[in-house]
Amino acid sequence: MPEISGNAKLIRDKRITGDVVNTVIPVYSDTVDEFVLTEAADISGVGAYTRVTRTAGEALGGHRVVRQYLDGAVYYASNTSDSHKHAVLGITVGAVESGNTATVQTYGELLEPSWTWTPGLPIFLTTNGQLSQTAPSSGFVLIIGTAQTATQVFINIKQPIVKG
């Protein structure tokens, strides 16, 4: 068992669905709400990920890149807005109306059956939270992750590159 200091708590909750066992570890901090480690029997491509919850500052679609604003709420991120380059939080897991709680994945494997990525290539932020495998020609360049399969990405947000 990891050593926990101060008032922090570590609670493990095993959730079993078919052949998949999710070990959910709620984390009580300002940055991460829970960490999930998925163990799979005969399922490839599942693993650890990190998700947080934040209030949606606007209506948000699912599987779009968001940034956290000073008010703590999340809004679409755009590579053409200089103020967004260091504020990107992650990708929304589902759609949410303004004022409701948004779940944002900040790291790890994310599956979306409607995606058609080219495996092995990076995925970039473009405008209004959109994702693309074509690097933007203007604004800053931010790699959000890499396509593992046509329908799965590994989120690992890199440092932005500002074009000269």
Distance between CA atoms of residues 48 and 46, nearest Å:
7
pLDDT digit string, tens, across residues 126-145? 999 999 999 999 999 999 99
- Please give the model's pTM, rounded to 2 decimal places: 0.75
Does any domain span residue 104?
A: yes
Is residue 6 a part of any domain in this protein?
Answer: no
User: Could you list the residue range(s) of the whole structural domain that residue 67 is in?
Assistant: 48-162
Residue 122 lies inside a defined structural domain of this protein: yes
CATH code, 145: 2.40.300
DSSP labels, 43-76: --S---EEEEEEEBSS-B-TT-EEEE-TTS-EEE
User: For residue 9, is it within any domain?
Assistant: no
Per-residue pLDDT tens digits for 85-124: 999 999 999 999 999 999 999 999 999 999 999 999 999 9
- Summarised one tens digit per residue, pLDDT across range 41-68 is 333 445 678 899 999 999 999 999 999 9
pLDDT tens, residue by residue, 1-35: 344 344 444 444 444 444 444 555 554 445 555 55
Is 21 contained in some domain?
A: no
Helices (H), 62-129: none
Number of structural domains the chain divides into: 1
> Do the domain assignments include residue 123?
yes
In a domain, 7, yes or no: no
Residue 5 lies in a domain: no
